[in-house]
Amino acid sequence: MAGVTVSNAGQAQFGIVQGGVFQDFRDESADATVAAGFEGYAIGGLSVGEPIDQMHTVAGDTASRLPADRPRYLMGAGTPGDLVECVARGIDMFDCVLPTRNARNGQLFTSEGRINIKNARYAEDDAPLDPQCGCYTCRHHSRAYLRHLYMAGEMSAGALNTLHNLSYYLDTMRRIRDAIAFRTFDSFRQEILRSASRLSLDS
């Protein structure tokens, strides 16, 4: 691997491609980063306020210039819809504060859309947060109890909400992998986008 020395055994070094929404800058950065040679490649500087369609386009165009036999990592994105849209464009890995930050603010991702658990409609709702989710939060606590914890300012509210949102994201990525393996990704992608388009059960 020319130009790169890995100092920590068992850890991969990633080169980061920058360039904002300017594809000529992205192309130049991608070519130089690939020429240096890395074990993986990251795409930075997106999901910082640009239109979603533009973010998807730039991520896809940049990913197409990176080696397909190395992991391609989109930094700082995104929503469940972003995950499927960017996987469709060649992205393999993601990280984002969205599931944990939203959990602390009482917004939870479910198979039926987003839930704002602080809303009064959940005060006496004994249903699980997401009937299709098998995480600890959904198996042991009702929407009413989660709302009670949130409204009371209990630290456990953020912990339980975060556990669920992270489980939802991990399950979404597992389902993406399965859909690719079983060649059903296109239909799965449409399913996720329909769910995401509902935005919130409370809207």
- The confidence score (pLDDT) of residue 78 equals 86
**Amino acid type, 151:** M
Half-sphere exposure of 70 (CA within 13 A, CB side): 20
Q: Are 26 and 48 in contact (CB under 8 A)?
A: no
What CATH class does 26-96 carry? alpha beta
Return d(Cα 16, Cα 46) in angstroms, integer.
12
pLDDT of 158 above 70 = yes
Q: Taking all residues of the chain, what is their mean pLDDT, rounded to a whole number?
A: 92
- The confidence score (pLDDT) of residue 1 equals 46
Percent of the chain at pLDDT > 90 equals 84
- Find the mean pLDDT for residues 66-87: 94
Q: Whose CA is closest to 164, among 84, 119, 89, 100?
A: 100
Q: Whose CA is closest to 171, among 135, 140, 117?
A: 135
For the whole model, what pTM was predicted?
0.88
Name the residue ranges covered by the structural domains of the chain: 26-96, 102-166
Residues 15-46: pLDDT tens digits? 999 999 999 999 999 999 999 999 999 999 99
